[in-house]
Chains A and B, each alone.
Chain A
């Protein structure tokens, strides 16, 4: 459903990603793993029309994404939870979720809101609290919940576990899996925590300074001695 064809991304003279190609099938989860500066976030930003593409093209459900503005990409059916669990800090949890539901037809919003709150009971408890006062894990749930509000067919998650307590990391993974099972969307997750990401995803792509180094099924990657040594820190 998403095809990355020989895409290069650069910021000025600095090249972040070089001629990268991969594809995502409907309903599957793909993890982008690698060190800082490997280009994981840039790939998500390129899909969202935030980072400039120099070569190649990105195709989503037979439509080209390159050249579209961010809001247009969202309207095509892609949800985006940016890095650093970004929420509208001054507004309440409910209002944040409403913001995520802007592109839905209005009558569908209340039902969708109830559904997303069902997925994240913690958010329901905090419904009228200012988002800035939530814990880090709750803010991450809110960022994901907000992205889910638009009923995306592809969900992009940028560093969803960054800075979270281990219990919360595990919990977030469970929630993503549950919701995905219920709704059937595909997930592309960029993540430094490779162990966690490979547990969540069916497939993984290992990046190194903008190049694809390995790719394969998560279990195979998790057992590959080179990947284990370099990214999983287990040997």
Chain B
């Protein structure tokens, strides 16, 4: 991840690994200490951010093979409902329900993926949008199972101890860390190179012997699995699950997080999620202006920073290096 943030021409290459380790250690310490310093509201918001990062990273993977899925939130819903129903109706232990949440999203993605992935570009967007809305209607109308439009409330936390927001923060931190690490390793692997090749040109990737279709199905399934896991963790955190949370607007939010943060590196969705989940929580006093503020930010980012907020950071780095080399001469 950090690789993607570095500018290529920094002169102090020798200090870089050390600096990188220091930065990672500082970030980890800050994340670990956060709930101790921050109040309940901030910790609650931070936990939401961490959970959303998991789904946003899944969306990012799919985006990295050039696909936008507007059914992403619905896959989170599949994971959430599966997990909650298994726990509340069948009394299974949480860890089983959590895994089942991921597996059900994966299974559905493997079932649907080979069909919808035959479509490209805007047609893929439309079919995933349709599919997501169908799932949302099922959540809404299958009263006996899903509680209908009211959803299911009083969802128990994974363990009684996790009733405490601070405790849940650490679970979310661990889960988000694991998800990000997994995605980073995947993107840096040979498989990740295949993904990049596909995003740049499917026909050329195919001409290099890359099984484009199979790679896309696998990536779609992995991305949806992450969404499903997020759905499970989130439902047990806010202790309420309802169809509203899995509409296509939520999928659109995942897209906006990636675009605002930057869609070329995994850092993008992380930055974007912090921005888009935390911001509304702090803008609650100005609810009526919330979407206007959103809209302005989105337009500014797309017009001035096509690489997202990550690009702002890269530009700043380049500017600082150019300053330091100039003063050095």
Chain B residues, Cβ within 8 Å of A89 = 200
Q: Which residues of the other chain, B, contact A50 by a CB distance below 8 angstroms?
A: 203
Contact indicator B208/A102 (Cβ below 8 Å): yes
Q: Would you call B209 and A82 a contact (CB within 8 A)?
A: no
Docked pose: A80 CA to B207 CA in angstroms:
6
The answer to whether A102 and B194 have CB atoms under 8 Å apart is yes
Task: Check B204–A90 contact: CB distance below 8 A.
Answer: no
For B212, list chain A residues within 8 Å (CB): 71
Q: Which chain A positions have C-beta within 8 A of B203?
A: 50, 70, 82, 86
Of residues 82 to 112 in A, which have CB atoms within 8 Å of B's CB atoms?
82, 86-91, 95, 98-100, 102-103, 106
Task: Give the distance in Å from the alpha carbon of A103 to the alpha carbon of B190 in the complex.
Answer: 11
- Residues facing A in B211-232 (CB within 8 A) are 211-213
Contacting residues of chain B (73-116) with chain A, CB-CB under 8 angstroms: none
Q: Are A91 and B200 in contact (CB under 8 A)?
A: yes
Within 8 A of A (CB), among B179-202: 190, 193-194, 196-197, 200-201
Q: Given A48-B207, A71-B209, do A99 and B190 touch, yes or no (CB 8 Å)?
A: no
Instruction: State whether B200 touches A74 (Cβ < 8 A).
Output: no
Which residues from B are CB-within-8-Å of A82? 203-204, 207
Nearest CB on A from B134, distance (A):
30
- A74 with B209: in contact, given A98-B193, A102-B194, A106-B190 (CB under 8 Å)? yes
Q: Is the CB of A146 within 8 A of B208?
A: yes
**How many inter-chain residue pairs (CB < 8 Å) link A and B?**
59
Kindly state whether residue B1 has any CB partner on chain A within 8 Å.
no
Q: Select from chain A the residue with minimum beta-carbon distance to B205.
A: A99
A217 located at the interface, meaning its Cβ lies under 8 Å from any Cβ of chain B in the complex: no
Q: Is the CB of B207 within 8 A of A70?
A: yes
Q: Across the interface, do A71 and B204 meet the contact criterion of CB distance under 8 Å? A: no
Chain A residues with CB below 8 A from B149, complex form:
none
Q: Are B206 and A69 in contact (CB under 8 A)?
A: yes
Specify the chain B residue showing the minimal Cβ separation from A49.
B206
Among residues of A, the one whose C-beta sits closest to the C-beta of B196 is A91
Between B197, B203, B207, the greatest number of chain A beta carbons within 10 A of the residue's beta carbon is seen for B207
> What chain B residues lie within 8 Å of A99 (beta carbons)?
193, 197, 205, 208, 210
- Total count of chain A residues near the partner, CB < 8 A: 26
Which residue from chain B places its CB closest to the CB of A89 in the assembled complex? B200
* Partner pick for B209 among A90, A98, A102, CB 8 A cutoff: A102
Residues of B contacting A87 in the complex (Cβ-Cβ under 8 angstroms): 204
A12 to B26, CA, bound (A): 62
- Residues of chain A within 8 A (CB-CB) of B207 are 48, 70, 74, 80, 82, 86, 147
Closest to B204 in A: A86
A98 nearest in chain B by CB position: B193
Query: What 1/0 flags go to A168-211 for Cβ under 8 Å of B?
Result: 00000000000000000000000000000000000000000000
Q: In the complex, A87 Cα to B211 Cα: how many Å? A: 18
Using CB atoms, name the residue of chain B closest to A146: B208
Q: Are B200 and A71 in contact (CB under 8 A)?
A: no
- Nearest-CB distance from B231 to chain A (Å)? 34
Distance in angstroms from A146 CB to nearest chain B CB is 7
Contacts of B213 on A, CB cut-off 8 Å? Answer: 69
- Give the 10 A-B CB pairs with smallest separation, nearest first: A74-B209, A103-B209, A70-B206, A88-B200, A71-B211, A80-B207, A99-B208, A99-B197, A71-B209, A71-B206
B-binding residues in A (CB < 8 A) = 48, 50, 69-72, 74-75, 80, 82, 86-91, 95, 98-100, 102-103, 106, 146-147, 150
Q: Which residues of B contact A (CB under 8 A)?
A: 190, 193-194, 196-197, 200-201, 203-213
Beyond A91-B196, A103-B208, 12 additional contacts (C-beta under 8 Å) are A50-B203, A71-B206, A71-B211, A72-B211, A82-B203, A88-B197, A88-B201, A89-B200, A90-B200, A99-B193, A99-B208, A102-B190
A sample of 23 inter-chain contacts (CB < 8 A) reads A48-B207, A69-B211, A69-B213, A70-B203, A70-B207, A71-B208, A74-B207, A74-B209, A75-B209, A86-B203, A86-B204, A88-B196, A88-B200, A88-B201, A88-B204, A91-B196, A99-B197, A99-B210, A102-B194, A102-B208, A102-B210, A103-B208, A146-B208
